[in-house]
Structure 1
């Protein structure tokens, strides 16, 4: 059989799983190339996992775990993001930082030095690549806060939940659909929270528009747009920026929307995804790479250690993915981390009565096709619709910082929910469905932008799950120190 291996995968997607497996693809492709076979197996696994049938064992949406008066925290991975998180959580009352783990001893020490207030033991762990297991094994820790490179997110989260810990994990929570299912199954089995640390859901305009959606200002939402447009090309080749150039390696081997959560998270919350609607299917398209490979070739001339990237099949510079929900809404997502475009997450919500868009800054709202509302009208809307969480700690969050304050609001809300026994704003189904966009987009790109089903990680419970509640009618008792 001489059919192209990509054509075979397209055919497999139409006819169902059938004989789709690594061996089956290799046999039909007639190729012995190891890399091709590995890619075929990977794509086949994505397709199989997207079509998995699963019966929920326990509904984690709306689940209120027992109250924890003092949340004892262990940090794993304290580079750029993790070190800042240590500092922020040290400012929250009802938090005891018990452990700080990083494969680099100097990073663990720097993170401990960022603790702002006394009362935190913070034992350091840096003895080998699996030192994080010793942190998860401790019986005096309630929450594992994960900020490692992407490949470790799911293994640490699963291990931590299996050892009785709640988990807060950086984005994406998983890089394969199979791992998304592992997170869901483990969270349900252990009844431990698994929250993805999607800080953009706590940015000020996103929270404002979410509250406006809740109050019916936009009418029925029709369409949303989000993105991660952030030129970090030079940092990919900076050996001091990230451990083992891990972000460069991800972009060297994967072609799709690799970092979808910043864009899709706030849109999904506004559309009540997993709580009244669900992501149904998607298509994805990538440009060619015009920037990464030339820069790799240039860097290799200066530093021979970069030669391994010269022949890498770099992803396209820009990926555009479109999603249709079960209720017939649409979402457009973009990913671009290598071209010289101004930073943007777009954040567009289009409804039957109004439209909002954040970028270019500042955020704007329109109630007709005639144009955006004037500054005075915007101020009146902010006065009316600013949500309770912003009214309570918004100004403090701006002082503490962390991407303008949204990081601090996210951490405060997480700890306050755990201390008061409240459901988390983002549960494991959100972590899975937002993260799954990455590998699903890879499959679609590799198959000529063919549609692929997005798994329903709630097993149909989205029909009855309650919408996110940020009213602060319960809880909101956690104090802060500045």
Structure 2
């Protein structure tokens, strides 16, 4: 039996996944808020509760799910790894470059599984495009785009509303670690799926430009930030982050362009996932979109056969399958789908983008987390 503990009672997206996998059990829940902790433990049938994280680490659990605010992810992941526990950590992996190096080195020294829980990689359509890329239907992919538009200003204060410029309630952690930062503080939802589509490539540099402050002057975060990731191959990924503007949410918009085809996610208002593939008889002279659903044969088999219980775990089944991949990695069946090197590179986009935005969009070199082995190689090059 794989015994799992979750730290962060407000982040239970993985819980249903574990409850649906044979041979796994969530046996412990940890949170500082004792009343909320007991409420959630009773609601989900978790037998043991802890208010002190280190006490949970001293118990007989095998793995920890880190679902706390992002500034706690590295300290809690490292503590778990050093206690001999496997780790599935929510995004982003860290809030500082040094933390990424500490995390990488601890994972390598521990021999335990570390996986980042970027569940947008597991959205069915993103997995479908991944399969089609792997089978060469897009030819050589050379441009991708991800858009995360989600007004979260109401989450920056404990009150659940925002009234013009008035400070309402006590600031939450998001006020500082998200809306208190410039650049793309939260890139992994937009970036992760595209990085998987750009098979084997890595990010060489990051450039970020902000649109300025127009909507709400309480925050350092600009209304919109555009990040360009130049790949080692010379290809491009474009990311838009907008968590300030007054607009409908659009958190799962992606495009992909290759030499033999292209894909666009829906923008809303009746739009649908659409694709054009040359090999499907598409005319290069007069290309016409087709719905992605016409190509559902390319969905991974486990998505085609997903049960209602698996789909109900969240994100159209993605929250179940990410847990399944983590469990299989712990059991030695496969490598982590999003390992510590992916976690570090994708998260570093946020940290480098802040420096870039503060320096007029200057290109910031991305460290090579897989190959850098000395402190001299762990530098941010200007």
Q: TM-score under structure 1 normalisation?
A: 0.70
Could you tell me how far apart the structure 1 residues matched to 2:273 and 2:158 are?
33
* 3-state secondary structure, aligned to 2:44: coil
Corresponding residue SS for 2:144: strand
Task: State the match for 1:257 in structure 2.
Answer: 184
| CA distance, structure 2, for counterparts of residue 371 and residue 110 of structure 1 | 55
Work out whether residues 124 and 303 of structure 2, in 8 Å CA contact, stay in contact via their aligned partners in 1: yes
Q: Deviations over 1:452-479 (max 9, x none)?
A: 1011111079xxxxxxxxxxxxxxxxxx
Partner of residue 196, structure 2: 269
SS in 1 for 2:5: strand
Deviation of 1:229 after TM superposition, in Å, equals 1.1
Structure 1 residues 176 and 381, CA gap change in structure 2 (3 angstroms): same
* Aligned twin of 2:379: none
Match of 1:343 in 2: 249
Tell me, yes or no, if the aligned pair for 1:75 and 1:100 is still in contact at 8 Å: yes
> How far, CA to CA, are the matches of 2:145 and 2:359 in structure 1?
23
Match in the other structure for 2:89: 169
Secondary structure of the corresponding residue to residue 241 of structure 2 = strand
* Shift of residue 379, structure 1, vs aligned partner: 3.8
User: Could you tell me how far apart the structure 2 residues matched to 1:440 and 1:94 are?
Assistant: 41
Alignment match, 1:124: 49
Query: Within 5 Å, which residues of 2 pair with 1:5-44?
Result: none
Aligned to 2:166: none
Contact 2:157 2:171 in 1 (8 A): no
- 1:357 maps to 2:259: no
Structure 2 partner of 1:105: 34
The superposition leaves residues 281-335 of structure 1 with CA deviations (integer Å, 9 ceiling, x where unpaired) of 1100112222232xx5xxxxxxxxxxxxxxxx62201111001111111000111
List runs of 5+ in structure 1 lacking aligned partners.
1-69, 297-312, 462-482
1:100-156 per-position Cα deviation (integer Å, ceiling 9, x unaligned): 00010122122212326xxx5x31112xxxx11222233x11111011011100000
Q: Give the match's secondary structure for 1:211.
A: helix
Decide whether aligned partners of structure 1 residues 369 and 291 sit closer, same or farther in structure 2, where only a CA change above 3 A counts: farther
Where do 4+ consecutive residues of structure 1 move more than 6 Å? 240-243
Q: Which secondary structure does the structure 2 equivalent of 1:324 belong to? A: strand
Partner SS for 2:336: coil
In structure 1, what is the Cα distance between the partners aligned to 2:39 and 2:198? 40
The 3-state SS of whatever aligns with 1:335 is: strand
Cα deviation, 1:325-350, whole Å, max 9, x if unaligned, reads 11111000111112123322321111
Structure 2 counterpart of 1:18: none
Q: Is the 1:253–1:315 Cα contact (8 Å) retained in structure 2?
A: yes
Which position in structure 1 is the counterpart of 2:289? 373
Q: Which has the larger radius of gyration?
A: 1
Q: Distance in 2 between matches of 1:352 and 1:420?
A: 37
Counterpart pick for 1:324 among 224, 230, 244: 230
Partner of 1:291: 215
For residue 174 of structure 1, report the CA deviation from its aligned partner.
Answer: 0.4
Distance 2:191 2:276 in 1: 21
More helix by share: 1
Is the CA contact 1:320–1:333 (under 8 Å) kept in the aligned structure 2?
Answer: yes
1:207 paired to 2:113 = no
Give the aligned CA root-mean-square deviation in angstroms.
2.3
Change (3 A) 1:195 1:372: farther
Q: Secondary structure at the match of 2:227?
A: strand
The Cα of 1:211 is off from its aligned counterpart by 0.1
Query: Which residue number corresponds to residue 389 of structure 1?
Result: 302
SS class of match (1:346): strand
18, 21, 28: which one aligns with 1:89 = 18
2:117 is the alignment partner of 1:197: yes
Q: Shift of the alpha carbon at 1:240?
A: 6.4
Query: 1:244 & 1:77 partners in 2: Cα distance?
Result: 19
CA contact (8 A) 2:158 2:170 kept: no
Where 2:78 maps in the other structure, the secondary structure is helix
What is the rounded CA distance, in whole Å, between the counterparts of 1:453 and 1:88 in structure 2? 37
| Distance 1:103-1:327 versus aligned 2 partners, 3 A rule | same
Deviation readout 1:429-470 (Å, 9 max, x if unpaired): 011011111110000011111001011111079xxxxxxxxx
Q: 1:292 aligns to what SS in structure 2?
A: coil
Q: How many residues align?
A: 356
Counterpart pick for 1:155 among 71, 75, 87: 75
How many Å separate the matches in 1 of 2:264 and 2:310? 23
